[in-house]
Structure 1
């Protein structure tokens, strides 16, 4: 029975992703489902990690195909591309809100940070320059607790 639970959970996720793909005007393909599964399983993954995860399921898929799917899913709003300084782009499936990210400048760990206000945009600029602001993207940088502990132990 326990071996069917992961299959049942995966089938439920695939059904949810299939519905989302159709809702965004996209065909449901094994490649798209595999990329969505890989990114959901490893939030904040770089494209190379997504390629590795997808190839575990679809060994013949090309690197270029994974990049095309990542781009398409980002453009359609099913994935979010995160730009982190001195790091390749990262991807996540958490797209339904305007959350932010905290990045450890020592180890590179990334954590989600919910909006302080709770709705988009959660920051109000002093001057919008005539724009209707829809998203505020904040990147917090610091040292995570693990790196801080390790540094203190080394001292």
Structure 2
């Protein structure tokens, strides 16, 4: 797996390698995304703005869209939630989402080579990727719901 960019220099190299022009905004978005995987554009914006006060929410959305198109970032779309973005794009992994608090965890492909799931009828498609989302309750939410009410 490719290491996450931790500096603006690393981010600039990855952006350039993806065939995109390096800008301060793109670099700041990629560095912030390396610090907070599984984050929406709206959640990412304050992190980017802290490093680059002149940026806008629209520039964060634009950078993320460019990154997704270039294969540098993956967008996941959990049902009922805004799109989330992550840098882990070079493997076939899945996600586990807490239906209470929304916490997202990566789950490695359980069995077999990519796409690790074989449809019963592919209808002639050459399947390359399977996206699986597991829903459950994280340990913190399960523990909180098991506590007696204080009322």
Common fold: TM-score over 0.5: yes
Aligned equivalent of 1:26, options 10, 20, 30: 20
Residue in 2 that maps onto 1:113: 107
Which structure has more helix as a fraction of its residues?
1
Check if 1:129 corresponds to 2:123.
yes
TM-score (norm 1): 0.87
Following TM superposition, the consecutive aligned residue runs of length 4 or more in structure 1 with deviations greater than 4 angstroms are: none
| Number of aligned positions between the proteins | 146
User: Residues 97 and 119 of structure 1 are in contact (CA less than 8 Å); yes or no, is this contact kept in structure 2?
Assistant: no
User: Residues 6 and 31 of structure 2 are in contact (CA less than 8 Å); yes or no, is this contact kept in structure 1?
Assistant: no
Residue in 2 that maps onto 1:62: 56
Offset of residue 56 of structure 1: 0.4
- After superposition, residues 90-101 of structure 1 pair within 5 angstroms as 90-101=84-95
5+ long unaligned stretches in structure 2: none
1:35-76 residue CA offsets vs partner (Å, 9 max, x unmatched): 011111011011111111110011111111111111000110
- Change over 3 Å in CA distance of 1:20–1:119 after alignment to 2: farther
5+ long unaligned stretches in structure 1: 1-9
User: Residues 5 and 11 of structure 2 are in contact (CA less than 8 Å); yes or no, is this contact kept in structure 1?
Assistant: no
Distance in structure 1 (CA, Å) of the matches to 2:102 and 2:44: 17
